[in-house]
């Protein structure tokens, strides 16, 4: 014999049990400050007794906005974004803002990511109050179109095609200067770079490398082997450099994953060389890797991005384009040239 499962209690059931109107019961969840403490307690006690929990999706579709913040991450496989998201979520929780995190893209072939159109349609219906974009996502204007009334902040990326969106990211020129200063101090002159692909940040770091080399009078030694943010791409780019007629004595990489690929290439060939990364992910600190890298200030980037977005939701935000000062983390992957 098949029996029906108990019907899920509704907000009307809660209102009847509390002896209040349905609209007042709903107001307790939508805007509790508009209800007296005594009445709010009656509603919440009735809800607890009935086992009622509000349907967030239904409330979002019925209301003017979803009363939550979406965190769209460019690539869940890149560990640097985890540090930024964690810091942002802690700040949102501190100020009482609910947040929902998801990947903005679908992985494509050859590490190329494409925007997830189905996800955008889902959030278009939910109408989030705010959107935090973490990393360089393809087709940023499409994200702005999905929620035209949402406040948008971009973290750890250059806001291409979103000129009005506040941006918080590391100072890549300062970071690359730290790297080149460090390597030159160890006696290196023939210093190459792997990167330049994968978006505006990769391009900016490649330009910063060239400027830093020129500042040391080493412009003639500048070489960029194209790579994106992946380990496989870093390995392939390093292979091209290490098989050249005059291989470099040091390699700077666009990020930690590409640097790890370069370390693997050098190890496979029995080559002793200095390699630096960028982003100071947890991988860089692993003892087996011990990668010298740039900490762009991930904790500060996440926290500050959340602060600006929260201010924007209450109308206090101003235009922001903030660069966070980086720090060099020196480990065992760099050494004085012999």
pLDDT digits 0-9 by tens, 112-153: 667 777 777 777 777 788 899 999 877 676 776 766 677 889
Q: Give the position of tokens 């050249």.
A: 244
What integer pLDDT is reported at residue 24 of this predicted model? 85
Rounded CA gap, 221 and 129, in Å?
49
Give the DSSP H or E segment for 85.
helix 80-94
Q: What is the DSSP letter of 8?
A: P
Distance CA 81, CA 85 (A): 6
Considering the domain delimited by 172-296, tell me its CATH architecture. Answer: 3-Layer(aba) Sandwich (3.40)
CA angle 69, 298, 97 (to 5 degrees): 20
The structure tokens listed for 86 are 């964690």
Helix (H) or strand (E) holding 198, with range, is none
pLDDT of residue 7: 75
Q: Percent helix, strand and coil across the chain, each rounded to 5?
A: 45, 15, 40
- Output the CA torsion sign for 173, 176, 180, 182: positive
Q: What is the pLDDT of residue 61?
A: 45
Q: For 169, phi and psi rounded to 5 degrees?
A: -155, 170
pLDDT value at residue 3 = 43
Which value, in Å, is the radius of gyration of the alpha carbons in the chain? 25
Write out the two tokens for 252.
């700077």
Q: Give kind and range of the element (H or E) at residue 133.
A: strand 130-134
Q: Pull the structure tokens for residue 4.
A: 């029906």
Are domains 69-170+298-326 and 172-296 of this chain identical in fold? yes
Pairing of strands 327-329, 293-295: antiparallel
List of long-range contacts for 183-186, beta carbons under 8 Å, 24+ apart:
183/250, 183/252, 183/274, 183/276, 183/334, 184/216, 184/218, 186/250, 186/274, 186/334, 186/335, 186/336, 186/337
What pTM was estimated for this model as a whole? 0.78
What pLDDT, on a 0 to 100 scale, did the predictor assign at position 113?
65
**To which H or E segment does residue 99 belong?**
strand 99-103
The residues facing 151 across adjacent strands are 130
Q: In a 10 Å sphere around its CB, with 0-12 CB exposed, 13-18 middle and 19+ buried, how is residue 190 labelled?
A: middle
Full pLDDT tens readout for the chain, 338 residues: 344 445 788 888 889 999 998 888 888 876 676 788 888 899 899 988 988 887 655 555 455 556 788 899 988 888 899 999 999 999 999 988 888 888 877 765 445 667 777 777 777 777 788 899 999 877 676 776 766 677 889 999 988 777 778 999 999 999 999 999 999 999 999 999 999 998 889 999 999 999 999 999 999 999 999 999 999 999 999 999 999 999 999 999 999 999 999 999 999 999 999 999 999 999 999 999 999 999 999 999 999 999 999 887 755 555 678 999 999 999 999 999 87
| Domain boundaries of the chain, sorted by first residue | 12-50, 69-170+298-326, 172-296
Overall CATH class of domain 69-170+298-326: alpha beta
Question: Contact, 333 vs 181, CB < 8 A?
Answer: no
The answer to whether 326 and 294 have CB atoms below 8 angstroms apart is yes
Please give the pLDDT value at position 102.
84
Query: CB within 8 A of 291, min separation 6: which ones?
Result: 256, 259, 260, 263, 275, 276, 277, 283, 284, 285, 331, 333
């Amino acid at each position: 014999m098949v029996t029906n499962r108990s019907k899920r209690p509704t907000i009307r059931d809660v209102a009847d049990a509390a002896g209040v109107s349905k609209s007042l019961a709903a107001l307790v969840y939508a805007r509790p400050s508009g209800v007296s403490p005594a009445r709010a307690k009656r509603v919440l006690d009735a809800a607890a007794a009935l086992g009622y929990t509000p349907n967030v999706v239904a409330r979002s579709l019925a209301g003017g906005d979803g009363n939550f913040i979406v965190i769209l991450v460019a690539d869940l496989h890149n560990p640097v974004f985890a540090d930024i998201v964690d810091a942002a979520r802690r700040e949102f929780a501190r100020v009482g803002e609910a947040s929902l995190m998801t990947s903005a893209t679908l992985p494509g072939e050859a590490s190329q990511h494409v925007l997830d159109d189905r996800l955008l349609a889902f959030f278009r219906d939910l109408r989030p109050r705010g959107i935090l974009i973490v990393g360089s996502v393809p087709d940023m204007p499409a994200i702005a179109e999905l929620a035209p009334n949402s406040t948008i902040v971009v973290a750890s990326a250059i806001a291409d095609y979103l000129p009005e969106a506040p941006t918080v990211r590391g100072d890549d020129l300062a970071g690359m200067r730290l790297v080149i200063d460090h390597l030159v101090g160890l006696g290196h002159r023939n210093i190459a770079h792997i990167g330049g692909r994968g978006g505006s940040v990769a391009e900016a770091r490649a330009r910063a490398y060239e400027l830093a080399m020129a500042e040391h009078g080493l412009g003639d030694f500048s070489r960029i082997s194209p790579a994106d943010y992946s380990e496989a791409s870093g390995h392939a780019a390093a292979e091209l450099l290490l098989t050249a007629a005059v291989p470099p004595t040091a390699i700077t990489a666009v990020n930690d994953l590409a640097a790890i690929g370069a370390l693997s290439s050098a190890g496979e060939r029995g080559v002793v060389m200095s390699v630096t990364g960028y982003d100071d992910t947890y991988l860089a600190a692993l003892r087996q890797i011990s990668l010298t890298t740039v900490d762009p200030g991930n904790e500060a980037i996440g926290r500050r991005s959340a602060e600006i977005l929260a201010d924007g939701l209450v109308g206090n935000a101003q235009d922001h384009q903030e660069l966070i000062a980086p720090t060099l983390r020196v480990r065992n992957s760099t050494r004085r040239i012999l």
